[in-house]
Every structure is written in C-alpha cells, then in structure tokens.
Structure 1
Amino acid sequence: MTSLKSSAPPLLFHLYRGVTALLAPFAFRKVAGKLAAHGVTPVRQRERLGYASQPRPTPMSSDDSSAPLLWFHGASVGESLAALSLIDKLAPRLPRAEFLLTSGTASSAEMMAKRMPARCRHQFAPLDSSTAVQRFLRHWQPDAALFVESELWPVTLDAAKHAGVRLALVNARLSDRSVERWKSKPATAAFVMQKFDILLSQNPQMGQTLIELGADAARVHPSGNLKAGSAPLPVDKQALDDLRSALGTRPAWIASSTHQGEEETVIAAHKALLAEFPALCLLLAPRHPERAEEITTLIRKAGLSMARRSEGQPLTADTQIYLADTLGEVGTWYALSPIVFLGGSLAPIGGHNPFEVAQAGAAVITGPGYSNFAETFPPLIAAGGAVEVTDASTLAKAVQNWLQDPTALTKARAAAHDVVTTQAAALEGVVDLLIDHLALAPAAADN
C-alpha cells in the first residue's frame, strides 16, 4: 500500500519536540508521583520513560508478517476498554499476532490486569519526548500502532512513522476545544493527521472534522463507537447478592459516573422521589471516588441518611443513599437496578458510556451533554431506550415514570439493548478496514 506523503515538519513541531525534551524530567517526576500514590512500583513507573518491564514477544523481526506485534494506546480506562474490544475482534483473525496495550493511568492498568486476553500485555505509555519514545520503539518494534479516541502525540506519531510503523486513529473523537486548538495551528494539524494510514471516526461529523484538519479523505471512515462492542462489565455475584438481600423488596435506582455539580441535582431528585416512594434507595457511584467526603457533606446537608461502601458501612432499611465510593464495581451496580442515570451529562463533560448500561439490561437516563456519544444517544432516545433530562425535576419525573410503569420500563430496557446490539454488529467491518489499511496478515495467510 502506498503511503500518503506527509508534509515537512513545521517550525511549531520542532519547537514542541525541543520543549518536550527539556521538560521530560519534570513531567516524569509528576506522573511518577501519581503512579506511586496508587502503588505502582518504581520499575513500572520508568515505563513512562520508555524502559520496558517485559520482553518483546518473539520473533524480533518486524518483517515477519505472520507474527505481527500490534500496539494499542488508550489514555485511561474508557479508551483502554475500547481497545480491548477491538483486540477481541482482531485476535481470531490474526491468530499469530501479539498485542501491546499502553495507557497512562494506574486505574487503567488495574483494569487491564483483570481483563486482558491472551497474547496481550500492558505497559505505561512513554512520555511524548524523543528519548522516551525512541527507547520504547527500539524495544517493542511494533508493526502497527492504533491510537484510541483523542490521543494525538506529535513526537510519538512522527517517530513511529519514521520507524516504519503503520498508524491508525480509531474511535476518533476530539472535543470542540481540541478541534479549535488544532485549527489554530493548521500546518501542524495537517502534519499530524497525515501520519495516519487510516482514521476511523465515531460518526460522519467527526470524520469531516478530521478531513478539515488535514487528514486524507480517502483514509477517513466513520465506523461507529467501538465501545458498542465491548464485553459486558464484570459482576461480583456475592456483592450483588448481598445488596439484593439488604434491599429486600425496596425499589432502587442508580446514579453512575457523576461529576462535581451533578450530585446536588441527583440528591435533590432523590429527595423529591422519597415523598412518593419512601422506601426508595439511591445507589450513588461518583466518577471519582476520592470526592466521597465532598459528596457525603452534600447528602448530610440534604438531611438524608447514607452508608458509605468504602468504609464498610452496611446498607440497612434506613439507608436512603448508598455511596458506592469504590472503583471497578460499576458492572455490579448496573446489575442491581434497571434504572440508571449516567453522569457527565448535566455538567459540561460529554457524557459516559451507555453501552455498558444497556448490556447490563438497564434503561438509561442522561442529561443533554452527551457529545462524546453523539452517534449513540439520539437513536437510543428515539427508540425509547433512554430519556433526556435537564434538572432535578425532570430527573425525578423520569425515574418516577419507570417506577410506576413496569411495562414501560421493560420496553425501554429492551429498546436500549436492541440499539446497542445493532451498533455492535455494525463494527464487524472495522476489522476488515484495519487489516487492509494497515497491511496486516489476513487469516488465510496465517493458516
């Protein structure tokens, strides 16, 4: 396959590369401190400098197309899970391929340790500085690299391209702010976009944006959201049984992945619902559990009783709000109740993953700010699998409607599941596109 010729590196790129080289020691000190605070060992912290903590799978020759090493990068948990869904689809087609998954956060590393398939290993991504990236590339020698969503690291992309690595941007999604920032630097944006052999956007609108930023139109393909194909979240059966036993016949609803400024709305909605459903329990799972003290204060100011999971406080008959301030248990919460409000949608965040909710068999409530899933929520809402709300009053009304009408709730749950299943099926063509544009060995050549 003939590669698109990239433009000459603009002056801004040279300046960026020089500055990142100078700042790398300070950047490493900062990221290493964050990793250390989460218990990451010094050896693994040095992965951010490009020092590998695992051997490269053999054979070492990148010319051996029968055993390619495919490098996937996702910044944090959500992107890493999307990468895993793609690895799950590629692995059967490429039975000799090996997979390397990089990310930048300790929480993503913890999640990957639990969910990585065979032939896959995790490393923390190198900083976007020449020395770290070159060290990383010399060790791993990937045949292709797939960057998930919005990770556009100029030094990394340029070095990888010069090393002969075929590049893909998958599940591409740039925020409005990021788009405007790139548009203000058109030469650098085009230089970066032209590094990719293929760009898969979440929707046609984002595909057009990538072209406007300088990507070759022939290489841009709207492909849907890869998160639609993710495996269902794990469920802790014992924890689920314990909570169900504690609730008994009490109704419950979930508010998941909430952000600062949203808990007040959720708590107000729950307080209003208690007037009609006095036994109702809210399970509140903030996006960032470290905000638990702040949220506890809000609950107490509202005059509601609560129990806090991280402190082992039991859910009792008097518990009005159960604060699930832990990580890695969201799948269990979604299995607990068929009514889920997804946060990050009342605050200007962009929304969170509705696929996980629908896969668990629940219906979705969202605020209007779901720009990160602009290709998913409109059909989900149109099908009746999701409801959009704007404030505490409309949120309470949405929950009330489904609590009072089990038949409507059953239909909503089925509609949500159908939409997600349809979008997941549409992703099958993504594998063919990647194998073609990245010149990966087809299954026939591996047998």
Structure 2
Amino acid sequence: MPSLARALYSTLIYLAQPLLRYKLRRRAVAEPGYGLAVEERFGHYGNHHSAATPEQDAKAGWIWIHAVSLGETRAAAILLTALRQQRPHLRLLLTHSTATGRTEGQKLLQPGDRQVWLPWDTPGAVQRFLRRFRPMLGILLETEIWPNLIAMCQQHHVPLVLANARLNEKSYQQARRLGWLARPAYAGLTAVYAQSDADAKRLCALGAPVQGVFGNLKFDAIPDAAQITQGRLWRSHINKPVLLLASSREGEEELWLQAWQTWAAQAQTHRNVQWLIVPRHPQRFDAVATVLEQAGLRVSRRSQWKDYPEPADVWIGDTIGEMAFYYSLATVALLGGSFAPLGGQNLIEAVACGCPLVLGPHTFNFAEAATLALRQEVARPAADMAQAIAIAETWIQEGALLEKAQAAALLLSQEHRGAAQATATAVESVLSKVG
C-alpha cells in the first residue's frame, strides 16, 4: 500500500493529467515531436511502431535507460557505448520526456531496441509501463526522481539506479522541505553513482544509496573531429576573433544586445570582433534572429552558409548537433544559461574543444565542472553580461594567456575521463545479481 504522502502526491498528479494534455497540444504546435504517440505518456503502448507483441516485449530482457532531454540523452550515449562493449547483444529500452531528447535518442537505437515516452508518474501509467516491458534494470540519469516510478520498480523487483547523479544546493533544500515524499524516493533506488563528492554528500543526506563517485560522464564525450577541423580552419581564415554566446536561453539574447550596445558605444574594440550566437532551443532560432534584426543588426544564419560564413554583424548558429564546430570556430565563448538563473549549460563540451569560457553567476547545474574550469584558468567569472563581454574582449588581446587557457582546456578534458567505464562496471555488477 502506498504511503499517505505518496497517495496524496498520486492524487495531485492524476488530477493534473488534463493540464499535461493541454500543454502537450500547445507545445506540439511549435515542436511536432510533442504530438507523437501521446498515449504512451499515460502508459498505453500500442503496436503501431513495433512488430513486437506485449508478450514479446515482456520477455525481451530490456536494459532501460531514461534520458529526459537532450543533455541527458547525450550522456546516455556515452554510457551506452561502454555498456554495449560489455554486453554486445544488449537490448535497449530508451525513454524520454522531451521532443529534443527523443529525436537525439533515435541515433542510439540498434535493431531490436525500442524508444518510447516515459509515462506520467501516476500509479496506473507506471504499472502499465512496467508490465508491458518488464525491464531487467532501469538507469535514470542525473536528477530524475519520480516517487511512483521508484516505488513501482521496487514492487516489480526492477533494480533502478541513478547514474551521473547530481544534486545542487537549491534542489537539495527543496527536497529537504519535501522530505516526506523525497526521502522514500531516494531511499528506494538500488544504487546511486554521483558526479562529485559534494553531490554524494547531499544525496546521502536524503537517504540515497550512493555507491560511487565517478565524475561526469560528459567528460568522456569525444567531439566530432570533422567539426573541430572545419571550425578551426574557418577561424584561421577570419581576420578577427570570434566571440560566441553559446546555448543561450530565453531572455539572454536581449541581455547580450543591451550590454553589447552599451559596450560598443564606449569602446572601439568591438569593431574587430565577430559575434556568433547559438540559441539552445531550435524553436527559438527565428525569434532570436528577429530580435537582432529589429535592433538594426545585420544577421547571417549558419543554415544559409555555403562554403564560408556570410559577412554580418552577428552570426546565428541555427543548426542542431554542431556545437563542436561552433566552439572550434570561437576564440572565447560566453556560457548560455548562466546569465539568467537557469544553472548554465554543458561547459564540458566547450572544454573538450579547447575553447576558453566566460561564466555568468548561475552555474549550479554544472557546479563541479565550473569550479574545475575556474581553478585551471580555463574559465573566467563574470557578474553579468556586460562584464562578460568586457572580459571576453580583454582576453582575446592577451595572446599568451589565451593560448595557455586553450591548452589547459584540452588537458582538463583529458584528465577527467573515465566515468563511463566506472559506471558501466557498476551497472554490470547490479545486473549480475539479477541473473
């Protein structure tokens, strides 16, 4: 029987289902992926996308990985490579919660694998999911804690681990306030593999069974070599430095525009700099271009380039899956998501490409990596966007220090690899007990 706390939670989640359907319909207008297989989100998995029957699904022996969105899916790809080396015939059940995650996840599928939505966290939907697929083991990535999902996995004897786990101080305090619901959920996991000692300490305080601190899986990602080569080649032919606002989130382009206009009015160095802005979410590409054009800036979009970037005041990176190219093209990057209180984006990708960074004040989603980058002088801190622009423009004039930061970035990336193999070995240990 569920606890009173989880029963109350389940009632609220159940009552929120009409709101979820409404939200999915609205999001599907801009991102059609949200309109795909909607009933899967409520635990109804038909056969329209698979020849397998429910009986065949239940006997498949799935290794289930849940990667909620784009970043987690890329981390899943790194872990999955290590898992497949240990189990070449592994059958993957891959779940997501966002359209970008699901699109990225399609790249990971091999014949016999399945990809579906993770169900909404009601007891009925989760029960239907587990009865349909009966996974041998489940792997949640980073922060995904769902009380009913964890409780139902316990009931169905499905080991559930949290890999590449992180828990920032803000989320920890929130979980403490909801301890009546959060503590049983964390304690119900089979094992937790943390990114850092600080994450492990917070997770343990909530009752999570932390069994290892392996670092961040994303350090094991190898950037696309062809993209790096192209980015560096183009940068060598551009007669001025390229400054990149990378993975910017809503509102940050306006912050950049305001700060850039103020800075430009006070200094001349901006005339020798090429700015490149890469929005985090593809549905915002057009809106960002409009904002810049309405401000009187000439804009050139990556999707329209042929053999070479077109001259413009600002380039917009409006393609998906080319961050290694953008970071290699840039001389210095400003980290998006860190200038609004959003926690920052994945700075590890920039480090792996040898791109120095300027970090805004909000990096709590990548606190450990940010601390390492600042300590190794791969990154410099800024209080706001205006200061970040000033720091970036100063840094590009410091030739020796800039070259040192570029080299230190590559070294930092190499020194912190190994999480994928350590996690895969730990997962294999859990699987060996399943049989």
Query: Any idea what the Cα deviations from partners look like across 1:44-82, whole Å, max 9, x if unmatched?
Result: 23221223333569995989xxx8421111211011111
In structure 2, the partner of 1:112 is 105
- Tell me what 1:328 maps to: 321
2:406 aligned partner: 413
Structure 2 unpaired stretches of 5+:
none
Structure 2 counterpart of 1:436: 429
Which residue type is aligned with residue 246 of structure 2?
S
Matches within 5 A, 1:301-320: 303-309=296-302, 315-317=309-311, 319-320=312-313
Single out whichever of 337-346 and 286-295 deviates more from structure 2. 286-295
* Bigger shift: residues 398-407 or 265-274: 265-274
Contact 1:283–1:323 (8 Å) recurs in 2? yes
Matches for 1:362-401 after TM superposition, within 5 Å: 362-401=355-394
Are the equivalent residues in 2 in contact too, given 1:344–1:352 (CA < 8 A)? yes
Cα gap change, 1:114/1:393 in structure 2, threshold over 3 Å: closer, same or farther? same
Matched, 1:131 2:121: no
1:157 and 2:146 aligned? no
Q: Does 1:223 align with 2:214?
A: yes
Which of the residues 350, 354, 359 maps onto 2:352?
A: 359
In the alignment, the residues of structure 2 paired with residue 114 and residue 107 of structure 1 have an alpha-carbon distance, to the nearest angstrom, of 12
Q: In the alignment, which residue of structure 2 is the partner of 1:255?
A: 245
* Equivalent-residue separation in structure 1 for 2:73 and 2:103 (angstroms): 11
After superposition, the Cα gap between the structure-2 partners of 1:427 and 1:24, relative to the gap in structure 1 and judged at 3 Å, is same
State the shift of 1:175 in Å. Answer: 4.5
Match of 2:83 among 74, 87, 90: 90
How many pairs were matched up?
428
Structure 2 partner of 1:100: 93
- The 3-state SS of whatever aligns with 2:138 is strand
Is contact 2:27-2:34 (8 Å) kept? Answer: no
Query: What residue is the counterpart of 1:283 in the other structure?
Result: 276
**2 CA distance for matches of 1:109 and 1:381?**
33
Change (3 A) 1:147 1:204: same
Residue pair 1:97, 1:119 contacting (<8 A) in 2 also: no
**CA apart distance, 1:427:** 4.5
1:146 aligns with 2:136: no
Aligned match of 1:169: 162
- Aligned partner (choices 308, 317, 340) of residue 333 of structure 2: 340
Tell me the residue number matched to 2:173.
180
Map of 2:50 onto structure 1: 54
Aligned-pair CA distance for 1:293: 5.8
The AA in structure 2 aligned to 1:255 is L
CA 1:239 to 1:152, structure 2 compared with 1: closer, same or farther past 3 Å? same
Residue 6 of structure 2 aligns with an amino acid whose one-letter code is F
Is 1:76–1:105's contact at 8 Å kept on the other side of the alignment?
yes
Single out whichever of 268-277 and 197-206 deviates more from structure 2.
268-277
Measure, in 1, the Cα distance between the counterparts of 2:278 and 2:188. 40
**Which residue of structure 2 lines up, in the alignment, with residue 244 of structure 1?**
234
In the alignment, which of 409, 412, 416 is matched to residue 423 of structure 1?
416
Shift of 1:392: 4.2
Residue matched to 1:15 = 8
- Higher helix proportion: 2
| CA distance, structure 2, for counterparts of residue 251 and residue 45 of structure 1 | 46
CA RMSD of aligned residues (A): 3.4
> Which residue is equivalent to 1:44?
37
Q: Hey, what's the Cα distance between the residues in 2 that align with 1:412 and 1:59?
A: 56
Change (3 A) 1:57 1:203: farther
Q: Alignment partner of 2:202: what SS?
A: helix
CA distance in structure 1 between the partners assigned to 2:32 and 2:428 by the alignment? 38
| Residues 297-334 of structure 1: per-residue CA shift (max 9 Å, x gap) | 653576543234567899533x1111234443333312
SS of equivalent to 1:54:
coil
Q: 2:24, 2:34 within 8 Å by CA — same for their partners in 1?
A: no
Matches of 2:260 and 2:433, distance apart in 1: 52
Q: Distance in 2 between matches of 1:98 and 1:405?
A: 51
Q: Under a length normalisation based on structure 1, what TM-score does the superposition of the two structures give?
A: 0.83
Q: CA deviation at 1:207?
A: 1.4
Tell me the distance in 2 between the aligned counterparts of 1:116 and 1:270. 43
Whole-angstrom CA distance in 2 between matches of 1:99 and 1:15: 33
Cα deviation for residue 87 of structure 1 reads 0.9
Call closer, same or farther: CA 1:250–1:115 in 2, change over 3 Å: farther
State the 1:167 CA deviation.
Answer: 0.7
- 2:348 alignment partner, SS class: helix
The code of the aligned residue for 2:411 comes to D
Q: Is the 8 A contact 2:344 2:362 kept in 1?
A: yes
Decide whether the 8 Å contact of 1:233 with 1:330 is kept in 2.
Answer: no
Any idea what the Cα deviations from partners look like across 1:161-219, whole Å, max 9, x if unmatched? 21111010112223444333321232322211121110112222221222222224xx4
Letter in 1 for 2:127: Q
Within the alignment, does 1:205 sit opposite 2:198 as a pair? Answer: yes
The Cα of 1:404 is off from its aligned counterpart by 2.1
